């Protein structure tokens, strides 16, 4: 059923804050897109739009050039590590990957993961080059922040089976 920690909004917000959407647009879409900040299309922002506050933990920090982009990346990674440490995720074995908390409550919540390196599967359509470019970039960002990523290019049918619970329960972490 996917990683149980992703059922927590605070964990999802921390992970989302690692995604540099302007860089994704430049790298994977060759600049031919607009970064989204909500479920509402950026083209409808004048009427229905949402502008996140500057300190929104789900938004990647703003930057203007390569140097400030590097600083924004460092800020995003530290913000992520701080948020996850508040939940109990720390790198207990020194390998650069956060370990799932192993206190009694965490063992009850995630008995299979408690104490282990935190690993998430990242599904991507195997026939979509733009999706693969975006996923490879996100894999780098997540791993630099301390999440072990299992990058899995899969067919459209396999992705549908993993994501949409029609015959069985959905079984996905990230896609």
Per-residue pLDDT tens digits for 16-59: 999 998 898 888 887 777 777 666 776 776 777 667 777 777 78
Q: How many CA atoms within 13 Å lie on the side-chain side of 12? A: 9
Query: Collapsing DSSP states into helix, strand and coil, what is residue 169?
Result: coil
Pick from 48-52, 97-101, 111-115: least confident: 48-52
Rg over alpha carbons for the chain, rounded to the nearest Å, is 17
d(CA 85, CA 74): 16
Cα angle, residue 139 at apex, residues 133 and 141 outer, rounded to 5°:
110
Q: What is the reported pLDDT for 32? A: 77
| Residue 12 main-chain phi, psi, to 5 deg | -60, -40
State the chain's mean pLDDT as an integer.
87
Segment (H or E) for 26: helix 21-28
């Amino acid at each position: 059923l996917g990683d149980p920690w992703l059922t927590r909004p605070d964990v999802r917000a921390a992970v989302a804050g690692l995604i540099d959407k302007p860089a994704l647009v430049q790298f994977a879409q060759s600049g031919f897109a607009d970064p989204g900040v909500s479920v509402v299309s950026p083209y409808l922002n004048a009427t229905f739009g949402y502008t996140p506050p500057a300190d929104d933990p789900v938004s990647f920090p703003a930057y203007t050039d390569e140097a400030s982009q590097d600083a924004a990346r460092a800020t995003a990674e530290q913000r992520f590590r701080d948020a996850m440490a508040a939940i109990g995720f720390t790198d207990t074995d020194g390998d650069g990957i956060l370990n799932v908390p192993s206190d009694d409550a965490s063992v009850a919540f995630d008995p299979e993961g408690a104490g282990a390196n935190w690993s998430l599967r990242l599904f991507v359509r195997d026939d979509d080059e733009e999706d693969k470019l975006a996923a490879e970039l996100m894999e780098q960002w997540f791993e630099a922040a301390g999440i072990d990523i299992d990058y899995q290019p899969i067919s459209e049918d396999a992705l549908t089976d993993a994501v949409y619970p029609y015959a069985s329960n959905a079984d996905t972490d990230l896609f």
